[in-house]
Amino acid sequence: MGDVGYREAVDSFAAALALERGLAEKTQEAYLRDVRALIGFLARRGRTSAREVVRADITAYLEAMHRAAKRASSRARAFTAIREFFAHLKENRMIAVDPTEGLEAPKKGLVLPKILPEEAMRRLIESVSGVEPRDLRDRAMLEFLYGCGLRVSELCDLTLDSFPDGAELVRCTGKGSKDRIVPLGRSAGDALARYLSSARDAFSRGDQSERHLFLTRLGRKFTRMGVFKILKQRATAAGLDPSVVSPHVLRHCFASHLLAHGADIRAIQEMLGHASIETTQVYTHVDQSRLGEIHHRYHPRA
């Protein structure tokens, strides 16, 4: 087993992430950033290759992240990336000892998602009520983000073939290229029908080869930033603070409002495409805080 330089180690790990792990591209990029940040730290400590790294180096790096006030979620993700990196090197006989073995992951901490009240969501969506192609398109996009809980990337990737059973269901591709089926709902279904019948042709300009559902004024697939821009504009027009409105906030509202109306947490997990129920359970804390407000307001002994 020869000495392994950092560049060779990172290149090998990057290839494994791309070919074997089934991770989303942005997750791969985040893992590689985390590993490269660690390598910079190790180089400053005089560790010139992966074989020289010991457990104390890893703990020192995690402690340095903590002192730098890095978010708990960032530290937890960095640890996951670092652990995967060294596990890969050991599995491929590039190092003899994995310095992360036996280390516990940093606690993520609870970060409650931002949500808007139901009335604010209603005001936002219903403010887009025109009949021009842009209005019909934007209304349908808002209905999909809130009514289906889609990630912005999932919304951008929808195509005309994303509806396996008419307008009753929508198939989207989430993190790790995993497909899931989400109920469309009456409001989103109605908005979709209006958009397809009266607006999409204005954007596609007769291009039958373009299959993406939502198109820009140039007849192209939306980017994430394009959706963000439209949402900020629509929030401002509805009298809402655009700084607190984003596609992900609408996704949080989807889950939180479902839970508030009695939806099962497992069903919400499926619709959001969360791999772990623990990710979804953050919404129970949101609802519990709402219950606390109700108790404080109405209980005679509160």
How far apart are alpha carbons 73 and 162 in whole angstroms?
Answer: 33
Q: Which of 210, 162, 226, 218 is nearest to 188 (CA)?
A: 162
Catalytic residue among 21, 171, 274, 290: 274
Catalytic residue among 134, 175, 180, 290: 175
Catalytic residue among 31, 61, 195, 283: 283
How far apart are alpha carbons 209 and 191 in whole angstroms?
Answer: 23
Contact 74, 65 (CB under 8 A): yes
Catalytic residue among 123, 220, 248, 290: 248
Catalytic residue among 151, 200, 234, 252: 151
Residue 146 catalytic? no
The number of beta carbons lying within 10 Å of the beta carbon of residue 97 is: 12
Residue 252 catalytic? no
Contact 166, 224 (CB under 8 A): no
How far apart are alpha carbons 97 and 103 in whole angstroms?
Answer: 13
Residue 139 catalytic? no
C-alpha pair distances (Å), 170 with each of 96, 116, 147, 216 = 48, 24, 11, 21
Residue 151 catalytic? yes
Residue 301 catalytic? no
Q: 201 is written with which tokens?
A: 């042709």
How far apart are alpha carbons 212 and 221 in whole angstroms?
Answer: 6
Residue 137 catalytic? no
Q: H helices within the chain, ranges in order?
A: 6-19, 25-44, 55-67, 72-91, 118-126, 133-148, 152-157, 186-198, 200-204, 224-237, 247-260, 265-272, 277-280, 282-298
Chain mean position to CA 129? 28
Catalytic residue among 77, 251, 252, 257: 251
How far apart are alpha carbons 58 and 153 in whole angstroms?
Answer: 34
Q: 253 is written with which tokens?
A: 């509202």
3-class DSSP assignment, residue 100: coil
Q: What residues act catalytically? A: 151, 175, 248, 251, 274, 283
